[in-house]
Amino acid sequence: MRGGLLVAGTTSDAGKSVLTAGICRWLARQGVSVAPFKAQNMSNNSAVCLDPATGEGAEIGRAQAMQAAAAGVIPIPQMNPVLLKPGSDRSSQVVLLGRPFGQADALGYQELKATLLEHVLAAYDELRGRFDVVVCEGAGSPTEINLRRGDIANLGLARARELPTVVVGDIDRGGVFAAFHGTVALLEPADQALISGFIINRFRGDPALLDPALEMIHGLSGRPTLGVVPYLRDLWLDAEDSLSLDSAVPVPATQPLTDKQTPPLTVTVVRLPRVSNFTDVDALRLEPGVEVGFTTSPRGIAEADLVVLPGTKSTVADLQWLRERGIVEALLARHARGGAILGVCGGYQMLGLEIEDEDGVESAGGTVPGLGLLPVRTRFVAGKTLARPTGFGFGAAVATAYEIHHGQVEIRGGTPLFTDADGRALDGCVVGAVLGTLWHGALESDGFRSALLDWLGARAAGEGEACAEQSATDPRPRSGVEFAAAREAQFDRLADAVDAYVDTAALLRLIESGPTPGLALLPPGRDR
């Protein structure tokens, strides 16, 4: 089998990312070599992979790294050739094939698209040469008629490579059949000819109730509904959008809860306006003895066992937001009482003495004071650090970390959070109960996460600076939660849903044979 498929959506967050992951996993379980692809992604939630051509670190959307894991393949920058990282409401950093390419506002980016399309098609072609099947995820809706000219992520890509396209709609939001029909009808004929079917996502109830509507939309549009996927409760996968923070991550059903007499450890995460890599706390959200909440105010800062300042694409601007919201005052008061604080990447830089950005790499330039809780100074430089470091923290191995930052941190005191096997400093700074690191993803390492929670538990029990001892070669979690296994189970759950609720035979025909011939053309698009 060889071919490609585009999974488009009636809206953002219709379920394109998770269904793409599910299709990738389902194909991989059939023995098919498959890769994910998203031509253009807009997200501050990114991941670091290695560029096989150079051996250097490269940055792609975290959803594509997740989809690669679902497919059982190593992520490479070609899987997400264009990544837009918003730094404000009007401007984004453009990352091309894993490396910074420039800054662009909305209008300027439209002018770049002709150049970027060449790279997008070359990346897709390279994946087609490496894998049997490439499953492409669209961006937003394919019917953004004001942006269709120069489109590189949806039907611009599909037209260039004659990709059969299925459109996913979220029925839980309502209006899915109008959205299906309108998505097709507003497209010009050559685009309509690629839309070969629909998939309904997040359905609650008896599917038999939908049968009349499925027949009607088929008759009206000439296109079948290839699946009705139920609402998969408590689904947890790496997300692109910080809106996903509103959905709770479940405790795995196979894991025992903590003793009812033992209160849970509480973690408050500050939800910054330009939060990035918020998936850093997903592993904590999986722990049965941990309750994770998010705040945009001082609420929850004083009471939690741990407060996390996460990464951000706009460190200086978000630091000012913390001051305006009164969160800085709450953090300083917490520190005075000896409360634990963890800063990751941008959050770590905020905890330091000052942040210097004289060249305007990320902010308007100049030097601003930090919170002064850690003896570190940050200077922003044009070059971006992209790395996959390994080391040890709290005596436990860390093999899941990655770095994405322009800020270069100079440490002038404290003790390192992460070291090599011989105890030499690698990254981070610890002073009392304040911890900072540039390493994202460290909490996905089970041993380190367990050791950190033991440290927090000892503090909550009034044992002061007690720290868990754990062999540096022992990666096992004390809680019983294995992050990698929990993630794999989610991939299999998605693949099971695709197998059970999607017409996979029809999907395979589309992948192998291309768009369905002779599809009906709907007005008003057919008249264009």
User: Catalytic: 406?
Assistant: no
Q: Residue 261: pLDDT above 60?
A: no
Segment 407-431, tens digit of pLDDT? 999 999 999 999 999 999 999 999 9
Please report whether residue 251 resides in a domain: no
Q: Which pLDDT band holds residue 240 (cuts at 50, 70, 90)?
A: low
- pLDDT band of residue 493 (cuts 50, 70, 90) is very high
The answer to whether residue 247 is domain-embedded is: no
Give 15-70 pLDDT, tens digit per residue: 999 999 999 999 999 999 999 999 999 999 999 999 999 999 999 999 999 999 99
Q: Which of 93, 90, 94, 69 is nearest to 18 (CA)?
A: 69
- The CA distance from 410 to 329, in Å, is 25
Torsion of CA 67, 72, 76, 78, to 10 degrees: -60
Whether residue 209 is found in the same domain as residue 358:
no
Q: What is the pLDDT of residue 301?
A: 97
Same domain, 57 and 134: yes
pLDDT for position 241: 53
Position 317 scores a pLDDT of 94
pLDDT mean across residues, the chain: 91
d(C-alpha 28, C-alpha 31), whole Å? 5
Active-site pick, 335, 345, 405, 406: 345
Instruction: Find the helix or strand (DSSP H, E) in which 341 lies.
Output: strand 340-344
Mean pLDDT of the region 478-489? 88
pLDDT at 497 over 80: yes
Whether residues 274 and 356 share a domain: the answer is yes
Tell me, what's the pLDDT at 345? 97
Is residue 496 over pLDDT 60?
yes
Does 254 have pLDDT greater than 90? no
pLDDT at 338 over 60: yes
Are residues 279 and 372 both part of a single domain? yes
Look at 217 and 260; give whichever has higher pLDDT: 217
| Number of separate domains in the chain | 2
Say whether pLDDT at 352 is over 90: yes
In sequence order, what are the residues at sequence separation of 6 or more whose Cβ sits closer than 8 angstroms to the Cβ of residue 198?
166, 167, 168, 169, 180, 217, 223, 224, 225, 226
Domain hosting 210: range is 3-236+487-521
Instruction: Reply yes or no on whether 119 is catalytic.
Output: no
- Indicate if the pLDDT at residue 465 is higher than 60: no
Do both 409 and 451 map to the same domain?
yes
Do 137 and 221 lie in a common domain? yes
Residue 70 neighbours by CB distance under 10 Å: 29
State whether 388 and 467 are in the same domain. Answer: yes
Q: Which helix (H) or strand (E) holds 347?
A: helix 346-350
Are 168 and 202 contained in the same domain? yes
Residue 526 belongs to some domain of the structure: no
Residues 216 and 347 in one domain: no
pLDDT at position 90: 78
